[in-house]
Amino acid sequence: MREKSDSSQILNSLEKYNLDISDYLPSHSGPKLVLNFNKITTVSEVEGIILKGREIENGIIADIVIKEGTVLEDPIHLCFGVNKETGLQEIFPRIIAEDNSSVTLQAHCSFPNAKNLTHKMFGHIYVGKNCKFVYNETHYHGEQNGATVAPVSYVYVGENSYFENNFFLTQGTIGRMKIQIDIYAFKDSIINSNVKAFGKNSLDSIRVRDAVFLEGENARSIIKMKAAAIGGGEVMMFGITEGNAANTTGHVDCTEIVKDRGSRCRAIPLIRATDDSCHITHEASLGKVDSAQLNALMARGLDEDEATDLIIKNML
């Protein structure tokens, strides 16, 4: 096991959000890569994976390879954080999970002091055949609406593989966020993509594009996008599913809640097919909270605001 020492101030900021940071500490034996701005502070490999990072001017390039047949019980932890108030961070990760592997990747992006900070990520994930790949990404952007974050990911999921993507952005303020994830699904693969985001005030703007292209026979996908725009925040969710191969099925579900004057939301589920045997569906709803849910909680003594907050909190 190769390891660089040093705990990072970023880890302290994760603790502030009541997150268990023990997995990120050097003493923890699981695989991890911890970054503070453009300094790699911890790299820890285990049998079956190769983790390699190179520091560049404003960030890093990173390769993560999970070798053929590797089944990892512990998730691989990636912590990309910036403790500064201003600046630009650029991350270029390339993740390759070879055939018959099983892995969970837990990525945290933390910018606790961001006042005028930009984070860009351009990543590729390549999943081989017969794999299980779960990618969880959580973001924490401090309380000052000072972060501009733009991650872009291209994912290819090989035959008979399962890919799950969970993107959560539900603590602190958001700032400006523009997320793009494009997934190409091959024969018999299954895609399960979930995005949850929360615009808290008028300085928050979230735009998400989650696209799945079904490129192999019998490929299946479901995209679920949930968001809440409150206090004048803006949310736009763009969910795309395109069926290009035989017998593919896909579903896009966009749900957005709007609360408070000045809040704005848009949900655009887009479904397309170029093969006559595809079955692709969509549903979208946005606006105020469902009145049946509200009435149910108000009949137990909550007022409308409390009921709305509870519904949004649990939805996200």
Partner 1 sequence: MSSDVLLSVKDISILSEDRQCNIVDTISFDVMEGSIHSIIGPNGAGKSTLGYAIMGVYHPCSGKIFFKGKDITDLSITERAKRGITLAWQTPARFDGLSVYDYIGVGVKDKNLIEQRVGEALEIVNLDPDIYLKRKVDANLSGGERKRIELASVIAMRPKLVILDEAEAGMDLIVLESFMDIFNKIKELGMTILLITHREDIGMVSDNSTLIWDGKVLANGPFRDIMVLYCQKAGLKKICSRTLFNQFDECIDKIIEEDTRENKI
Partner 2 sequence: MKENTKYNMHRFIGKQIIDEIQPWFEFSSSLPWDERSPPWVFDNKVRRQILVILSESPLTFEEIIERVLFKPAPLIITKEEYEPKIIYEWDKRTIENHLFNLEWYGLVKKNVDKYEINFPILNKEQLDDVENYVIKFAENWVKVIEESKEEILNKYQGLHKNTPIMDIIIEKIIEKLWETLKKKGLVPNKPNLKHLWGEQLRKTKFNEWVSKNFK
Residues that bind partner 1 (CB under 8 A): 226, 255, 290, 292-293, 295-304, 310-311, 314-316
Selected from 59, 75, 175, 216, the binder of partner 2 by CB under 8 A is 216
d(Cα 197, Cα 147) in Å, to the nearest integer? 15
Single out the residue of 237, 242, 233, 205 nearest to residue 224, CA to CA.
237
User: Distance between CA 70 and CA 19 in Å, rounded?
Assistant: 28
Q: Which does 133 bind (CB under 5 to 8 A by kind): partner 1, partner 2, none?
A: none
Cα gap 160→291, rounded to integer Å = 41
Distance CA 219, CA 121 (A): 27
C-alpha 156: how far from its chain's center?
Answer: 16
Helix (H) or strand (E) holding 49: strand 49-56
Site track 109-148 with partner 2 (rule: CB under 8 A), x = hit: ---------------x-x-xx-------------------
Using CB under 8 A as the binding criterion, the count of chain residues that bind partner 2 stands at 40
Q: Tell me the angle at which helices 291-298 and 304-315 cross, rounded to the nearest 10 degrees.
A: 120
**Which residue from 46, 61, 298, 310 is in contact with partner 2, where contact means CB under 8 A?**
61
The one of partner 1, partner 2, none whose footprint includes residue 2, by CB under 5 to 8 A per kind, is: none
Would you count residue 75 as binding partner 2 (CB under 8 A)?
Answer: no
Which residue's CB is nearer to partner 1, number 161 or number 170?
A: 170
Binding residue (CB under 8 A) for partner 2 from 47, 57, 276, 303:
276
Which range in 50-58, 72-80, 109-117, 308-316 contacts partner 2 by CB under 8 A? Answer: 50-58
Closer CB to partner 2, residue 146 or residue 216? 216
Q: Which is nearer to partner 1, 273 or 302 (CB)?
A: 302
C-alpha triplet 269, 275, 279: angle, nearest 5°: 50
Residue 22: phi and psi, rounded to 5, are -60, -30
Least distance between partner 2 and beta carbon 225 (Å)? 18
Closer CB to partner 1, 2 or 300, in the complex:
300
Rounded CA separation 46/154 (Å)? 26
Question: Among all chains, which residue has been given the structure tokens 């070879």?
Answer: 98
As a whole number of angstroms, the distance between CA 60 and CA 73 comes to 26
Q: Which residues bind partner 2 (CB under 8 A)?
A: 50, 52-54, 61-63, 65, 67-68, 92, 94, 96, 98-99, 124, 126, 128-129, 154, 156, 158, 182, 184, 186-187, 211, 213, 215-217, 240, 242, 244-246, 272, 274-276
